[in-house]
């Protein structure tokens, strides 16, 4: 079995999806479950976690409805405004929905590198502890110092780092990112998705060997019990097809035991997202 812990659906809107720039023009179209289902069937993917791409409550409804209609969508990572006075009511509302597995905020788009440490945001995150929901951390690597301070504050909260925190793979930078990832990985409540790497590398010339040192750092930092496979489909399509992404993950997993491969590809996801 394989659980893909990171993919997106959207009905393309040039305003809502303005982050899709000219270099990414290939994904300026709709991507829906009927587009992904045959890909999963071809590659024997059991199911997925659908992750928000728009920061609205309407996005939650959109994804939850899709998850209700398609059995292979095993859960949703949505969005709420953690700085809002209504955050408790929003969290209580979604806590009644078993398919809502957690939340994230697009922190990578925030100009303030200490966004995660804002008092209002911290207050909102503190309310997650009674819901059982995961919080996913979407940042660039230069925002990792704030991530380290952030996770220290919530030792009982389940965190998942998206896209190995987007190191500068294209430029070949690794050392400072690696130091911070190892520090963050020392906290047992933090896991990491091995995902989103080919779009941080050179779109046209990346090779698996370019990515392997970064994946090995993640393995060292988090261990086989706290790593997860994710494709980042359809965003990955700007740099490669689904088979290429899956082959990178399989090449990495070649160094793992059979039991550890099962953890990476589905058992960790089953545990973290209570699938």
Count of CA atoms in the C-beta half-sphere (13 A) of 141 = 23
Structural domains of the chain, ranges and CATH numbers in brackets: 3-272 (3.20.20.140)
- 3-state class (DSSP) for residue 227: strand
Report the alpha-carbon distance of residue 253 to residue 240 in Å, rounded.
19
Report the alpha-carbon distance of residue 260 to residue 213 in Å, rounded.
19
pLDDT of 125 reads 98
Q: What is the dihedral of CA 146, 148, 153, 154, to 10 degrees?
A: 120
Mean pLDDT for the chain overall: 96
Q: How confident is the model at residue 237 (pLDDT cuts 50, 70, 90)?
A: very high
pLDDT of 159 reads 98
Q: Do 165 and 144 form a contact (C-beta atoms < 8 A)? A: yes
Q: What is the DSSP string of 67-117?
A: HHH-TTEEEEEE---TTSTTHHHHHHHHHT-TTEEEEEE-GGG-S-TTGGG
pLDDT of 88 reads 95
Between 28 and 251, the more confident residue is: 251
Which residues, other chains included, contact 122 with Cβ-Cβ below 8 Å and sequence gap of 6+?
116, 150, 153
Report the alpha-carbon distance of residue 102 to residue 122 in Å, rounded.
16
Q: Is the peptide bond before 234 cis (omega within 30 degrees of 0)?
A: yes
pLDDT digits (tens, 9 = 90+) for 107-154: 999 998 999 999 999 999 999 988 999 999 999 999 999 999 999 999
pLDDT of 84 reads 96
Task: Provide the whole-model pTM.
Answer: 0.96
Instruction: Check whether 24 has a pLDDT greater than 90.
Output: no
Angle at which helix 242-253 crosses helix 33-43, to 10 degrees, equals 40
**Percent of the chain predicted with pLDDT > 90:** 91
Structure tokens that stand for 73 in this block: 């969508």
pLDDT of 23 reads 84
């Amino acid at each position: 079995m394989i659980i893909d812990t990171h993919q997106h659906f959207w009905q393309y809107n040039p305003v809502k999806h303005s982050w899709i720039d000219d270099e990414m023009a290939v994904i300026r179209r709709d991507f829906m479950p009927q587009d992904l289902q045959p890909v999963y069937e071809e590659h024997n993917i059991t199911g997925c976690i659908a992750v928000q791409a728009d920061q609205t409550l309407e996005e939650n409804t959109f994804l939850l409805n899709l998850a209700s209609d398609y059995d292979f969508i095993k859960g949703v990572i949505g969005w709420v405004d953690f700085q809002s006075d209504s955050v408790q009511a929003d969290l209580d509302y979604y806590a009644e929905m078993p398919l809502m597995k957690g939340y994230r905020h697009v922190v990578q788009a925030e100009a303030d590198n200490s966004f995660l440490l804002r008092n209002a945001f911290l207050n909102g995150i503190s309310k997650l502890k009674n819901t059982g929901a995961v919080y996913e951390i979407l940042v660039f690597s230069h925002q990792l110092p704030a991530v380290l301070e952030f996770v220290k504050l919530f030792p009982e909260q389940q965190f998942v780092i998206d896209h190995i925190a987007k190191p500068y793979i294209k430029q070949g930078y690794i050392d400072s990112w690696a130091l911070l990832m190892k520090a963050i990985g020392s906290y047992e409540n933090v896991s990491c998705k091995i995902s989103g790497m080919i779009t941080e590398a050179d779109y046209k010339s990346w090779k698996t060997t370019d990515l392997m040192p970064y994946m090995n750092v993640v393995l060292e930092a988090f261990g086989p019990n706290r790593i997860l496979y994710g494709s980042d489909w359809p965003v990955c399509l700007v740099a490669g097809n689904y088979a290429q992404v899956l082959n990178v993950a399989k090449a990495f997993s070649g160094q793992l035991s059979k039991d550890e491969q099962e953890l990476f590809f589905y058992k960790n996801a089953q545990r973290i997202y209570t699938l």
